[in-house]
Amino acid sequence: MSISAILFLLVFAAAVWWFTRNVRKVRRNILLGRDLQRTDRPAERWALMTKVALGQSKMVVRPVAGLLHIVVYAGFIIINIEVLEIIIDGIFGTHRAFSFLGGLYSLLIGSFEILALLTWLACAIFLIRRFVLRIKRFWSREMTAWPRTDAGVILSIEILLMTAFLLMNAADHTLQSMGAEHYVQAGAFPVSAVLAGFFGFGTMDASTLIGIERFCWWFHIIGILGFLNYLPYSKHFHILLAFPNVWYSKLQPKTQMSDMPRMAAEVKSMVDPSIPPPPPPAEPEPGMPPEHFGAKDVFDLTWKSLMDAYTCTECGRCTSVCPANLTGKLLSPRKIVMDTRDRLEEVGRVIDKKGKWEDDGKDLFSRISEEELWACTTCNACTQACPVNIDPVEIILDMRRFLVMEQSKPSPSLNAMFTTIENNGAAWAFGPDKRMEWMKE
Ligand code: SF4
Ligand code: SF4
């Protein structure tokens, strides 16, 4: 085995190991959440995933961003098929291992090149929209330095990867036309042939071109492995999680609020004495916090809310349609989801460091204020707009429940309603005897 192949195998194995380690941590963090059954109506779930995650149906509601995103998405998925060939070449020391496909291979390489060019252009437009045109939803309060940098880094990496791919092909194409040893005649190069002419590759000697081709080949594959390992640290983890997240979507009507099974059982038993009260809650596992009514911390949210947090693309579509946000309230559903992820990662780091969970004196309320929570109208415009079916309202409701049931801190308007229900048996400030008075007017 050549030194180059050994080096390739080492880099590849290290990248796969590190990625697997980080994905296992993300999975562990998601499973810190409460249990939730979301496997009913599987046929409907597969159809939804095909339409929303694979078909990107909610992205194209905003046609410009939607179409650009589809190009980048298709570029990322399809061009990476080519990575399979790179891996085989890297391990076995071959060159263009799939060239035996003949005409089909030319068609594939030609299509990859066109997609690479379109992806390059789409990423450049995305960068301009974010950093030159400074579209408002990318510069709001929660888009602090890291989320902005993250978006810039990933778009720049994609541009560099596409550039390396095209330059590699440009050098390869020139070497093929020179009849250089090892460079088999294979592929079609509609874009890189133009680049080769533009950069004057035809005037360079074979050793310089081999140097360019090898450099771009290594840059391309190391870049892809680096990109893979960057994903778990980035909002771009949605590339992987969008599919399961949509599959596990809530299928009930959006505005149907989940109940609290233990509370529902207790109320039923109070109303109907023939129904026995539910058993007391199970003792928490050693080292884990006790069960709360509602959500104080990430442990009290469902695993789906935690998966939502890791799936958020930080696109801000939810916030841009949120009536509370649009009328100047503090609430931003995107911030709620981002804060949940940040807190979850914080909890994960404590577990990594101490080997188990130890209370760090913080919780979700260290990041999300009561003012934000009570500003929500539960209209669900945010869940409707989210391209990956994230449900920020579920987090908001669970945190509100904690405020009301454990802290006795309802919002002032809710407090007034509780009082009128207690005094008048109705949500309004009139007694039941006045209910029909409107008919007389
Ligand atoms: S449900 Fe709440 S957070 Fe979502 S859009 Fe409506 S007001 Fe905003
Ligand atoms: S919750 Fe959905 S709509 Fe809102 S920022 Fe995240 S991905 Fe975008």
pLDDT along the chain (441 residues), means of 10: 83 94 96 93 96 91 88 78 83 84 87 91 93 88 87 91 92 88 82 91 90 91 90 91 96 87 85 85 77 92 97 94 95 97 96 91 96 96 96 96 92 86 81 79 69
pLDDT at position 289 is 81
Among 236, 253, 279, the domain-final residue is 236
Q: Which residues contact 243 (CB under 8 A, 6 or more apart)?
A: 49, 53, 54
Query: Do the domain assignments include residue 194?
Result: yes
**pLDDT score of 16:** 94
Quote the DSSP letter at residue 275.
S
Strand locations in 12-91 (E): none
Q: State the CB neighbour count (10 A cutoff) for residue 333.
A: 31
Query: Is residue 87, in this structure, part of any structural domain at all?
Result: yes
Pocket lining: 323 vs ligand 1, CB cutoff 6 Å: yes
d(CA 25, CA 245): 17
Question: Which residue's alpha carbon is at the smallest distance from atom 4 of ligand 1?
Answer: 382
Same domain, 163 and 311: no
Q: Which ligand is nearest to the CA of 321?
A: 1
- Whole-number Å distance, alpha carbon 353 to ligand 2 midpoint, is 30
Instruction: Choose which residue among 329, 380, 384 to substitute to test ligand 1 binding: the one with the highest number of ligand atoms within 8 A of its C-beta.
Output: 380
Q: How many domains, the chain?
A: 2
**b/e burial code for range 161-183 (CB count within 10 A of at least 16 → b):** bbbbbbbbbbbbbbbbeeebeeb
Residue 432 lies in a domain: no
pLDDT of residue 90: 83
H or E segment at 298?
Answer: none
Q: Yes or no: say if 238 and 73 are a contact pair by the CB < 8 Å rule.
A: no
The end-to-end CA distance of the chain, in Å, is: 94
What's the confidence (pLDDT) of residue 243?
96
Packed helices 206-230 and 145-178: angle between N→C axes, nearest 10 degrees: 150
Q: Atom 2 in ligand 1: which residue has the minimum CA distance?
A: 376
Q: CATH number of the domain that 45 lies in? A: 1.10.1060
* Residue 427, domain member (yes or no): no
Q: What is the pLDDT of residue 209?
A: 93
Residues 293, 395 within the same domain:
yes
Nearest CA to ligand 2 atom 8: 315
pLDDT confidence of residue 6: 86
The pLDDT score that the predictor gives to residue 249 is 97
| Residue at 263 is within a domain | no
pTM: 0.88
Q: What pLDDT shows up at residue 202?
A: 86
Note whether 89 and 175 are same-domain residues.
yes
Q: Which of 282, 281, 284 is nearest to 356 (CA)?
A: 284
- 252 found inside a domain: no
Sequence-separated (6 or more) residues with CB below 8 Å from residue 371 = 329, 330
* 70 and 124 fall within a common domain: yes
Output the CA 321–ligand 1 centroid distance in Å: 8
- How buried is residue 224: exposed, middle or buried, by Cβ count under 10 Å (0-12/13-18/19+)? buried
DSSP letter, residue 262: H
Tell me the ligand closest to 333's alpha carbon: 1
- What pLDDT shows up at residue 311? 97
> For residues 81 and 77, what is the distance between their CA atoms, to the nearest angstrom?
7
Q: What are phi and psi of 302, to 5 degrees?
A: -75, 160
pLDDT of residue 413: 84
Residue 368 Cβ inside 6 Å of ligand 1? The answer reads: no
Question: Which one of 250, 312, 317, 382 would you pick to mutate in the ligand 1 pocket, going by the greatest count of ligand atoms within 8 A of its CB?
Answer: 382
**Which residue's CA is the nearest one to ligand 1's atom 8?**
322
Residue 430 resides in a domain:
no
Question: For residues 234 and 237, what is the distance between their CA atoms, to the nearest angstrom?
Answer: 6
Q: Are residue 184 and residue 301 in the same domain, yes or no?
A: no
pLDDT score for 372? 96
Residues 67 and 199 in one domain: yes
Tell me which residue has its CA closest to atom 2 in ligand 2. 386
Residue 439 confidence (pLDDT): 82
For ligand 1, atom 5, which residue shows the shortest CA distance? 322
- Beta bridge mates, 302: 34
The last residue of a domain, from among 204, 236, 268 = 236
Look-up of token digits 């509601």:
61
Q: Which domain holds residue 396?
A: 31-53+288-411
Mutate to test the pocket of ligand 2, among 59, 235, 315 (most ligand atoms within 8 A of CB): 315
State the amino acid at position 384 in one-letter form: Q
- Do 140 and 191 have their domain in common? yes
Establish if 247 belongs to a structural domain.
no
Q: Indicate which atom in ligand 2 lies nearest the CA of residue 317.
A: 3
> Which atom of ligand 1 is least distant from the CA of 333?
3
Ligand 2 pocket test target in 390, 391, 395 with most atoms within 8 Å of CB: 390
- Separation of CA 237 and ligand 2 centre (Å): 13
For ligand 1, say whether the CB of 382 is within 6 Å of any of its atoms. yes
The pLDDT score that the predictor gives to residue 362 is 95
Residue 255 CA: which ligand is closest? 1
Claim to verify: residue 24 and residue 41 sit in the same structural domain: no
Taking a C-beta distance cutoff of 8 angstroms, is the pair 257, 59 a contact?
Answer: no
Give yes or no: residues 92 and 182 share one domain. Answer: yes
Cβ 392 under 6 angstroms from ligand 1: yes
- Of 142, 163, 271, the residue nearest 212 (C-alpha): 163
Which ligand has its closest atom nearest to the C-alpha of 236?
Answer: 2
CA–centroid distance, 260 to ligand 2, in Å, is: 26
